[in-house]
Amino acid sequence: MGNESYVHADVRDQGGMWQKVGEVGEREGRMNMCVACAGIVKQLSDCLRVSAEEVKEVLDVNINGVLFTAQAVGQQMVRFGNPGSIVLISSVAGSVVLRGDSVIAYHASKSALLQMARSMACELASRKSPSASIRYHQDTSLRRRSPNTPARIHNCWRSGAI
């Protein structure tokens, strides 16, 4: 089957991600697959008053973190000449507004992942060298109630109002 590797890294650090994933490539001698599933959501914030710092933090993790992870793995796949898969995980919030949530940066970041997956897939498919196939997965688990989901929001999701 193959080996699985788990590493601890800050997905916002492009150079650090490239180095960590490169170390895994050195150790394993290949790179076959990656699931890029970076995501944070901050407290509910009015879209007209959300702070620049909050927006930057969410976008940095949710967009840049996924991109830097996919880049690092794709580089290793090309380096070793083996095709593989990079799965980008998003959220239902990338396609529909979660009414009752005031998380504009989260909504925008998860929507961006769909276009990122399309863009990377087209660019990598046009190369003659072995490269990654990009798959986009939209996680719908947000529809299940977590302990932190306010009842009013959960009821809105369940009713199909989103």
64 within 8 A of 120, measured Cβ to Cβ: no
Residue 94: per-residue pLDDT: 79
Residue 123: per-residue pLDDT: 84
* Distance (Å, whole) CA 123 – CA 130: 12
Residue 158: per-residue pLDDT: 57
* Distance (Å, whole) CA 85 – CA 138: 16
70 within 8 A of 88, measured Cβ to Cβ: yes
Model confidence, pTM: 0.80
Determine if residue 122 is left, alpha or beta; phi over 0 gives left, psi from -120 to 50 gives alpha, anything else beta. alpha
Structural domains of the chain ordered from first start:
31-158 (3.40.50.720)
Sign of the torsion formed by the C-alpha atoms of 93, 53, 38 and 62: positive
Identify the band that residue 49 occupies on the pLDDT scale cut at 50, 70 and 90.
Answer: very high
Q: Is the predicted pLDDT of residue 154 greater than 80, yes or no?
A: no
* Distance (Å, whole) CA 93 – CA 113: 11
Which pLDDT tens digit goes with each residue over 57-82? 999 999 999 999 999 999 999 899 88
Average pLDDT over residues 93-103: 77
